[in-house]
Chains A and B, each alone.
Chain A
Amino acid sequence: MSTTLVETTYREAMREAMREAMQRDERVFLMGEDVGAYGGCFAVSLGLLEEFGPERIRDTPLSESAFVGAGIGAAIAGMRPIVEIMTVNFSLLALDQIINNAATLSHMSGGQVSVPVVIRMTTGAGRQLAAQHSHSLEGWYGHIPGIKLLAPATVEDARGMLWPALQDPDPVLIFEHGTLYPMPGSLAPDAAPVDISRAAVRRPGKDVTLLTYGGSLPKVMAAAEELATTGIEPEVVDLRVLRPLDDETIVGSVRRTHRAVIVDEGWRTGSLAAEITTRLVEQCFFDLDGPVQRVCSAEVPMPYAKHLEEAALPQVATIVAAARQVVSG
């Protein structure tokens, strides 16, 4: 068994994950807009139709409520569907099915009904798609008991999270940041499934904890390198799981560094960053040597013009400034 690593990308890793899942379990099938003939809006499902046929790679009409509801119904009846909503922006049309059915049925039925569906959606801004195509709504979905949220930020996670998510008896939403698809990375040819319950320390450090997820991770790692040159040793924590949040790792890190900066592409008000800040105040108030800093998107509909979008989004410079502020302030 060759241990030589395979050069791949985030996109191909997710495609391989879907291929493997469908080969291993005949209950697994993919459903969504343009996932078949078109090969997927972001080419994630390219080639799957040719390999698995139209029964298991199902192009759907532009009816988010219907095909997401259908995914939920099929899961209830024993299948393990992967529903692809083209982007989180269109998932608003399926919120009723996700919140009132998927997240609710198990509890409301007294535990009789479980909904083992996986819903994937592309998320985030940074490609000048303007306001209606650039939302980051992980904070909304993170508010809902009954579902689990994953944010694969690395090639390894893109490859390894899908299979355990499909094994989970409850709905799992996977948010894939649009800028990550072309990201290169190397993987073992038979990459194993990864844990989907813990956060990960991507860079150990001691002076400040930088907490982030998904598409913001590359910027935060860059900011960490820059800070290191100025003698500040930041610790970078990749949340990976946005619900339930891995308090142990998050709080454990801030207990050691006594300072926290949270980088979240959502709008600051009622965001995931707001929730994490509250948990830090609740669980390690007496370890905080300065107020928690949040680096979020400006509270504006995301503008089209590049310079405006860049001004609105968290950037390496603003992350470095926030970290420096909490360390020296």
Chain B
Amino acid sequence: MSDFTMPSLGADMDSGTIVEWLVKPGDHVQRGAPMAVVDTDKAAVEIETFQSGVVGDLLVEPGQRVDVGTPLATMLAAGEAPSAAPVSVGKAKRPRARRVPPPREAAAPVPPAVPREAEVAAAAPPAPSPPLRHHAAELGVDLASVTGTGTHGRITRRDVDAAAHRPRVSPYARRLAEELGVDLAAVTGTGTSGTVRAEDVRAAAHARPEVPPVSTEAPRSDRATIAALMSRSKREIPHYYVATTVDMHTVVSWLRDTNRDRSVAERIVPAAALLRAVALAARRMPQLNGFWVDGVFVPGEDVHVGVAISVRRGALVAPALRHAADLELPVLMQALRDLVGRARSGRLTRAELADPTLTVTDLGDQGVEEVFGVIQPPQVALVGIGRLVERPWAVDGRLGVRPLVRLSQSGDHRATDGYTGARFLATIDDLLQHPEAL
């Protein structure tokens, strides 16, 4: 015995209604014979059997809606006895016109309950008082854009004032403010309707108060903590070292030219150009820009270059120059001066201390020609920069005197290998040969 089921007559049909049976229990049917008329939402269609045999019990009544696949009747092989209780048989007479039966009268829509007077009042916040509207107008605040913090959502005077002083800031200006540590609330925008733009932030960054702020209790890395960190690094990190000499002639002469028409405050030092090159190279080689955590390399979410800064009294700190790969050279220079200034005065932000994705230690000013630094765990790379020195150097086959600098890179051999380090230094060297693009 097998089932005759509700067929699917279209991709969008998931149920159907038996309008009328065209067979009755005991009928012999051939494969392809029409069994019943089924109404889907669009039309009434005859459905056929895919097996020959004898109709057993009709399991579904005319008018009953069932899902696709639901057994509608049982089919017996020839000779099997139908079960005792046959379902009532549909109209025997074949309908003359196969028109679609009129849809059942849809239930009259129930009118929504009329909300009582009080409920209506509670829904909308009370209208702002005339004096408040006047105050808002004075400050050029559009009350419709203000959400009230008073009872029932009433707009208060404080809400209006807050809305008046909500600064409109361009996205780039907002990011720059974060990097340069500028408090936006204190910045007056020069853009249309007071919008704060990048130049406003830069101006604010320059007009920093003359008096050095009193050093607050920022986390200072004293000798003990440094010792623990360094020994952990040496213990856990299998260091490899690579180094190269970079001809700084192009950078130095380019800097000299651009600095000539820059105010002293905006002059750019070679160290900044080196940092910029390291940042751009790190962006191109993400495998050096991240952390080794629990045996796996985790790439940094962006390039934050840790700058090793000797703070007075022998302490060392390496805060991050955040998003260094996005900072053009002049902006990076300002960010660097600001970072070093705040590092020396202990006003570093938490993010700057926690987030460097690789570190640069520049001992050039300390007169050392080459330095192979110790990687700051959990980072996987550290770049060492030596002193800028004039040296004899072959240029297109001829001997000349060139400003040179020794670059080194210490790498965590678990994360990368010397080959990567070499490519990294080569990339930095190449970037430094096109200073205008830094």
* A290 within 8 A of partner (CB): yes
Give the docked Cα–Cα distance between A329 and B170 (Å): 11
Contacts of B158-198 to chain A: CB distance below 8 A: 170-175, 191-192, 195, 197-198
User: Which of the listed residues B172, B192, B198, B328 has the most CB atoms from chain A within 10 Å of its own CB?
Assistant: B172
What count of chain A residues pass the 8 Å CB interface test? 10
**If the complex has contacts A258-B198, A329-B191, A329-B192, are A290 and B170 also in contact, measured as CB distance less than 8 A?**
yes
Assembly CA distance A258 to B331 (angstroms): 13
B326 touches A285 (CB 8 A): no
Majority DSSP secondary structure for residues of B touching A: helix
Closest to A291 in B: B170
**Nearest CB on A from B338, distance (A):** 19
Q: Does A190 contact B (CB under 8 A)?
A: no
> Could you tell me the distance between the alpha carbons of A286 and B197 in the complex, rounded to whole angstroms?
12
Residues of A within 8 A of B171 (CB): 285-289
- What is the distance, in angstroms, from B425's C-beta to the closest C-beta of chain A? 24
Chain A nearest CB from B325 CB (Å) reads 10
For A256, A258, A285, which residue has the most chain B Cβ atoms within 10 angstroms? Answer: A258
Instruction: Please tell me if the beta carbons of B175 and A290 are within 8 angstroms of each other in the complex.
Output: no
* Cβ of B268 to closest chain A Cβ, rounded Å: 16
The verdict on A255 contacting chain B, using a C-beta distance below 8 Å, is yes
Contact between chains at B172 and A287 (CB < 8 Å): yes
- Beyond A256-B328, A258-B198, whether A288 also contacts B172 by CB under 8 A is yes
**Chain B interface residue number, banded:** 10 to 19
1/0 per residue, CB under 8 A from B, across A246-262: the answer is 00000000011010000
Of chain B, the residue at the smallest CB distance from A204 is: B436
B197 proximity list for chain A (CB < 8 A)? 289-290
Closest A-chain residue to B170, C-beta based? A289
> Which residues of the partner chain A approach B195 to less than 8 Å between Cβ atoms?
290, 329
Task: Tell me, rounded to whole Å, the shortest Cβ–Cβ distance linking A249 to chain B.
Answer: 14
Residues of B within 8 A of A256 (CB): 328
Question: In the complex, what residues of B have CB within 8 A of residue A285's CB?
Answer: 171
Instruction: Using known A-B contacts A255-B326, A329-B191, A329-B192, determine if residue A286 contacts B198 with beta carbons closer than 8 Å.
Output: no
Interface centre among B170, B192, B195 (most CB of A within 10 A): B170
In the complex, the chain A residue whose C-beta lies closest to that of B197 is: A289
Query: With A and B bound together, what is the CA distance between A286 and B173 in angstroms?
Result: 8
A288 lies within 8 A of B170 (CB): yes
Closest approach, in angstroms, between the C-beta of A293 and any C-beta of chain B?
A: 13
Nearest chain A residue, comparing its CB with the CB of B328: A256
Chain A 264-294, CB-CB to B under 8 Å as 1, else 0, gives: 0000000000000000000001111110000
Which residues in A have their C-beta under 8 angstroms from that of B328?
256
Q: A286 near B175 (CB under 8 angstroms)?
A: yes
* Chain B residue with the shortest CB-CB distance to A256: B328
Query: Are B192 and A289 in contact, with the CB atoms below 8 A?
Result: no
By the criterion CB–CB under 8 Å, are B191 and A287 in contact? no
Tell me, in angstroms, the Cα distance from A285 to B169 when the chains sit together.
Answer: 12
Pairwise interchain contact A286-B191, C-beta atoms closer than 8 A: no
Q: Mark A221-264, 1 if CB is under 8 A from B, else 0.
A: 00000000000000000000000000000000001101000000
Q: Which residues of A contact B192 (CB under 8 A)?
A: 329
How near does chain B come to A251, taking the closest CB pair, in angstroms? 12
Q: Which residue of the partner chain B has the closest CB to A285?
A: B171
CA distance A263 to B328 in the complex (A): 27
Contact A289 B326 (CB under 8 A): no
- A285 CA / B170 CA spacing, docked (Å): 9
Q: How far is the CA of A255 from the CA of B328 in the complex (A)?
A: 10
Closest Cβ–Cβ distance, residue A281 to chain B (whole Å): 9
User: Can you spell out 14 A-B residue pairs with CB atoms less than 8 angstroms apart?
Assistant: A256-B328, A285-B171, A286-B174, A287-B172, A287-B175, A289-B171, A289-B197, A289-B198, A290-B170, A290-B191, A290-B197, A329-B191, A329-B192, A329-B195
Which B residues fall within an 8 A CB radius of A? 170-175, 191-192, 195, 197-198, 326, 328
20 further A-B pairs in the complex, CB-CB below 8 A; given A289-B171, A289-B173, A290-B191: A255-B326, A256-B328, A258-B172, A285-B171, A286-B171, A286-B174, A286-B175, A287-B171, A287-B326, A288-B170, A288-B171, A288-B172, A289-B170, A289-B172, A290-B170, A290-B195, A290-B197, A329-B191, A329-B192, A329-B195
